[in-house]
Amino acid sequence: MKKINFVLMGILAVSSGSALAMGVGIEQGKNFTNLNAELGKESSGIYTEGHWLKNTQDGTQVGGVGAGYNFEVGPVMLNAGAKAVYLGPKKGDNGVAFPFGGGLNVALTDSVSVFGEGYVAPDGLNNSVKNYVEANGGVSWTPVKPLTLKVGYRHVSVDGKDGRPNHTLIDGAYFGGGVSF
């Protein structure tokens, strides 16, 4: 726990030179709910984020924290980062994964953007599964600041190991909303 606090304090200290927007949001799919919070995800530089995702059909849960760096190039925001994720898939392979990946957000207008991101933790970067994959993509609309609405598609799956089956934890379209300050 001391290591996590030290890392978070370091990230905040490095990024304290600029104002960072903080945001919270919720996404609701047919069989899942995702709650998320982020700091600095909408501007160039370091960002942190956290989320908790639950499959409302079978009780599967995935929660994590992450950090990364945003690169802004005109209307395009690229990011690269890593996460620490708790897996609770109810299939006997509960554990943790440390995926890495990145994303892309393209502003089509001042209020409409398309986005996509993907993370993967191959064998060796997790303790209970052979491979962890997550992907998310969609369209966001900001009708008025600070409100943003989203529609998208989210997928999270694992490849089992030690005789456990491969399975999809979350898969489907969603509608979401959030605010940022």
What is d(CA 27, CA 151) in angstroms, rounded to the nearest whole number? Answer: 9
**How many structural domains compose the chain?**
1
- The model's pLDDT over 73-84, given as tens digits with 9 standing for 90+, comes to 999 999 999 999
Region 146-167 average pLDDT:
88
User: Residue 162: how many CB atoms within 10 A of its CB?
Assistant: 9
Domain of residue 126 covers 2-14+22-180
Instruction: Give 80's strand partners.
Output: 69, 102
What pTM was estimated for this model as a whole? 0.85
- The model's pLDDT over 89-144, given as tens digits with 9 standing for 90+, comes to 776 678 899 999 999 999 999 999 999 999 999 988 988 888 999 999 999 999 99
What is d(CA 19, CA 40) in angstroms, rounded to the nearest whole number? Answer: 8
What is d(CA 114, CA 54) in angstroms, rounded to the nearest whole number? Answer: 24
Kindly tell me if the per-residue pLDDT of 51 is higher than 50: yes
CATH code for position 28: 2.40.160
